[in-house]
């Protein structure tokens, strides 16, 4: 960079003292949906501590809370659950698309394109009113598990499976993805899956949520905003961490190899997945919750291998790096025990976060202001234009 450019940059830095690379720590908007806090609260969904919601509520209640602003009473929950059941049907356009998807397609690409097609088939798509956005959100909550499960089964030569009306969202997800439903282990798995859906449902202005809000701020349709969010989540620096953690556990293979594996990886400067968080520097309250459930599920399944590997890795990372596990780390233990295909871990994340994304789109469009930030210019100073025939 030339001296002149340095001077220009210095002027801009002076004019923009609040510049932070990656927007770290920048307040980019207001939201009543979620408080991410490293203090005693940990994480609040519309004022409710996440530990209380995970312990006492089911995912349907969390989705209702995020979309409607309050926890449902029994009548409201019954009606909401029935609404989800009624909307758990894919339009013909989606059925045709899923039947034609090539076996090499990335599951997140299928989800992203599936949401776009759902928007094309929705008569409410162009209606940006609050009520219409809520209706579309409910449809997406009901339809996304079908998009994910149907595409995976068809790509792997398995017959379609329809959701069951008497099952919860988590129970149906487990059934659609693994075929498990009624035995005691399946019930325990569904409970832990429900907790994971609650924990993943919302987390303030993360990359995918911010992408959704920026898109929604143009007053485009909800489906376009959600498509933006899915595209952001596909990136390995945002979504996919629990899948990478599971692959790490499989590579380690046993508790006896875990400590040496981690120390060798650290010596080679390799990144250990499932640790650290851009905002939560002192630990993730959600990780503590899912760890407890992963340990319980390990006992119920009589399979302690993954949990023992995880706790060993956790101990070494705290000892060597002072890092704490995030939500993805022990979630991988739970999903391995459930037998959920690893390629579906991030699409499963979508089934949960869709509640938060839709709530953010609704909130953005209810009180909209187009998002239009500025950039810190680092290019050359003003230059004289040279006609083509005079350029050397």
Task: Return the active site residues.
Answer: 277, 328
Sheet holding 34-36, edge to edge: 34-36, 43-45, 48-49
d(CA 55, CA 286): 12
Q: Of all residues in the chain, what percent are helix, strand and coil, respectively (each to 5)? A: 60, 5, 35
In contact, 110 and 151? CB cutoff 8 Å: yes
Q: What is the DSSP string of 323-356?
A: --B-HHHHHHHHHHHHT--GGGHHHHHHHHHHHH
Q: Round to the nearest angstrom and report the end-to-end CA distance of the chain.
A: 22
d(CA 111, CA 155): 14
In contact, 366 and 131? CB cutoff 8 Å: no
d(CA 332, CA 322): 21
């Amino acid at each position: 960079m030339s001296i002149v450019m340095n001077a220009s940059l210095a002027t801009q830095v002076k004019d923009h003292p609040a510049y932070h690379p990656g927007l770290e720590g920048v307040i980019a908007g207001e939201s009543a949906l979620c408080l991410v806090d490293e203090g005693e609260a940990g994480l609040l969904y519309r004022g409710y501590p996440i530990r209380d919601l995970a312990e006492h509520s089911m995912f349907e209640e969390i989705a209702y809370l995020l979309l409607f602003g309050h926890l449902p009473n029994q009548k409201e929950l019954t009606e909401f659950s029935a609404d989800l059941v009624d909307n758990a049907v894919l339009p013909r356009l989606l059925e045709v698309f899923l039947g034609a998807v090539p076996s090499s397609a990335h599951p997140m690409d299928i989800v992203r394109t599936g949401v776009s097609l759902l928007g094309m088939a929705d008569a409410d798509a162009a209606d940006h009113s609050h009520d219409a956005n809520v209706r579309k959100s409910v449809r997406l909550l009901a339809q996304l598990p079908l998009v994910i499960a149907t595409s995976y089964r068809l790509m792997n030569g398995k017959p379609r499976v329809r959701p069951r009306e008497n099952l919860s969202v988590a129970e149906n997800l487990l059934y659609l993805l693994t075929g498990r439903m009624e035995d005691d282990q399946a019930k325990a798995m569904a409970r832990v899956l429900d907790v994971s859906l609650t924990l993943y449902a919302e987390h303030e202005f993360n990359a995918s949520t911010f992408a959704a809000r920026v898109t929604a701020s143009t007053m485009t349709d909800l489906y376009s905003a959600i498509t933006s969010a899915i595209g952001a989540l596909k990136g390995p620096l945002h979504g996919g961490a629990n899948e990478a953690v599971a692959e790490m556990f499989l590579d380690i293979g046993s508790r006896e190899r875990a400590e040496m594996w981690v120390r060798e990886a650290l010596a080679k400067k390799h990144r250990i997945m499932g640790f650290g968080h851009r905002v939560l520097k002192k630990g993730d309250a959600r990780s503590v919750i899912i760890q407890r459930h992963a340990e319980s599920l390990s006992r119920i399944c009589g399979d302690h291998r993954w949990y023992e590997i995880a706790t060993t890795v956790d101990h070494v990372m705290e000892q060597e790096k002072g890092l704490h596990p995030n939500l993805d780390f022990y979630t991988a233990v739970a999903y391995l025990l459930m037998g959920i295909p690893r390629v579906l871990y991030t699409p499963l994340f979508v089934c949960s976060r869709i509640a938060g994304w839709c709530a953010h789109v609704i909130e953005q469009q209810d009180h909209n202001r187009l998002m239009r930030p500025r950039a810190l210019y680092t290019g050359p100073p003003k230059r004289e234009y040279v006609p083509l025939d005079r350029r050397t």
